[in-house]
Amino acid sequence: MKKKIAILGSTGSIGKNLVDILKKRINNFEIILLSTNKNYKLLFKQSKLLNARNLIIIDKKSFLEAKKINKDKNIQIYNSFKNFNKIFKTKIDYSMCAITGIDGLEPILDIIEYTKVIAIANKEALICGWSLIKKKLAKTKTKFIPVDSEHYSIWYALKNIDINNIEKIYITASGGPFLNLPKVKFKDIKISDALKHPNWKMGKKISIDSATMMNKTFEIIEAKNIFDLSYEKLSILVHKDSYIHTIIKFNNGLIKIIAHETTMKIPIFNTLYDNHDSFLKTRNIDIEKLNNLELLNVDSNKFPIKQILKIMPKKPSLFETILVTINDFLVELFLKNKIQFTDIHKLLIKMINLKEFNKYKSLKVQNLREIINLNNYVRLKLEKYLYKLLR
């Protein structure tokens, strides 16, 4: 029997990787749904390639243009994720949720009840809305698998292992494009420089987060949430080759190291084939890289954003939404050439320490509307505080 699949965000980096995996094994799958924000032309190509009959296009203008040019009467095009109840008649086997930003949280929460397995590649959702996701997963008995290479590696390594047996988990960071750049030259960093990630091909936002080390800071918060660990049991190591993805030290003295090639196809493939009923052709073990790991601690002088973890609340709260929103806002300013690269961490630390934001550290997330409203509120506040920069 064919596995029934849905991909939310099929035209993004993660989605395209999954489509590439599926097209070579299409006889094993039935693609029920694909979605995009604006890129309907690629969505149509993917639909034809995978014989997908349900499409969701969120951007209104793109939706109307797509409806106008669609000649296939068998293809249903929708403009909202609220149409899941029309698309899914029974629980499907697997859903990939690869929509970026806080906007991805609502469709994740909505699709959980329609899928047996959900793979999530949305940092913001796992940081800001994990308590809501966890509750919905338990209610619907849906299995969750993280997609990010570090979190998938941890998840894989901890199968059938008591979390209390963990002494420390290390996730690795490449160090980004500025690992070896002297701190005195950080003030001269240009947008084009920050977008040149040495190992991964990623979108602009996540590339900047990688360059500032915010991406790894977020991944620590995600790992704390997903695996129910304290911040004290989590740490970051710099590994410039991105070959090792996690190192886990157990209380009994044993250490597990999970390594794989620098490609997201490996964790994506393994979320799809969790029962190992297929195989992915990869290169031989890279002995040279294993012999030259050169693991380093993060230089907090060059990458001070990591220090934010020291002030994060121990339990999930609304403060995480504030952190995500402020960082998103500042990265947008940098990409618009409104602020310098070094302003990102300076302004971020200044903003999250504002008294009016700190009170949210003790407030639990009650519902999705709280997160959305707080995100909008914080953005308005930032526009007010940074008015001169925005002019």
Q: What is the pLDDT of residue 170?
A: 98
Segment-wise mean pLDDT, segments of 10 residues, the chain, 391 residues:
95 96 93 97 97 97 95 92 95 96 96 98 96 97 97 95 95 93 94 86 87 96 96 96 96 96 94 78 92 94 92 95 96 94 94 93 96 96 78 61
- Please check whether the domain covering 3-147 is classified as CATH 3.40.50.720: yes
Instruction: Please report the pLDDT score of residue 391 as a whole number.
Output: 61
For the chain, what is the largest distance between any 2 Cα atoms, rounded to a whole number of angstroms?
A: 63
* Letter string b/e over residues 219-242, b meaning 16 or more CB atoms within 10 A of that residue's CB: bbbbbbbbbebeeebbbbbbbbbb
C-alpha–C-alpha distance, residues 245 and 237, integer Å: 10
Give Cα separations from 364 to 28, 321, 323 (angstroms): 42, 11, 15
Give which of 53, 247, 296, 213 is closest to 44, Cα–Cα.
53
123, 148 contact by CB (below 8 A): yes
Query: Domain locations in the chain?
Result: 3-147, 149-262+278-310, 313-391
Residue type (1 letter), 230:
S
Contacts of 102 (CB under 8 A, 6+ apart): 124, 125, 128, 321, 324, 325, 371, 372, 375
Cα–Cα distance, 73 to 344 (Å, whole number): 49
3-class state of residue 43 by DSSP: helix
Q: What DSSP assignment string belongs to 24-38?
A: TTGGGEEEEEEEESS
Task: Please answer whether residues 294 and 172 qualify as being in contact, where contact means their C-beta atoms are separated by less than 8 angstroms.
Answer: no
pLDDT of residue 110: 98
> φ and ψ at 253, to 5 degrees?
95, -15
| pLDDT value at residue 386 | 81
Taking Cα atoms as reference points, which of 362, 364, 360 lies closest to residue 377?
A: 360
Rounded to 5°, angle at Cα 245 from 28 and 125: 70
Scanning the chain, the segments in alpha helix (DSSP H) are: 13-23, 40-50, 60-69, 84-87, 105-111, 123-128, 130-140, 149-157, 191-194, 204-212, 214-227, 265-272, 287-291, 319-335, 341-352, 355-358, 368-385, 387-390
**Can you give the pLDDT at residue 388?**
64
**Between helices 204-212 and 341-352, what is the axis angle to 10°?**
80
Q: How far apart are CA 98 and CA 87, in angstroms?
A: 19
Distance between CA atoms of residues 129 and 125, nearest Å: 5
Q: How many helices (H) and strands (E) does the chain have?
A: 18, 12
The tokens for 375 are 């995100």
The CATH number of 313-391 is 1.10.1740.10
Q: How far apart are CA 204 and CA 261, in angstroms?
A: 22
C-alpha 87, offset from chain centre: 25
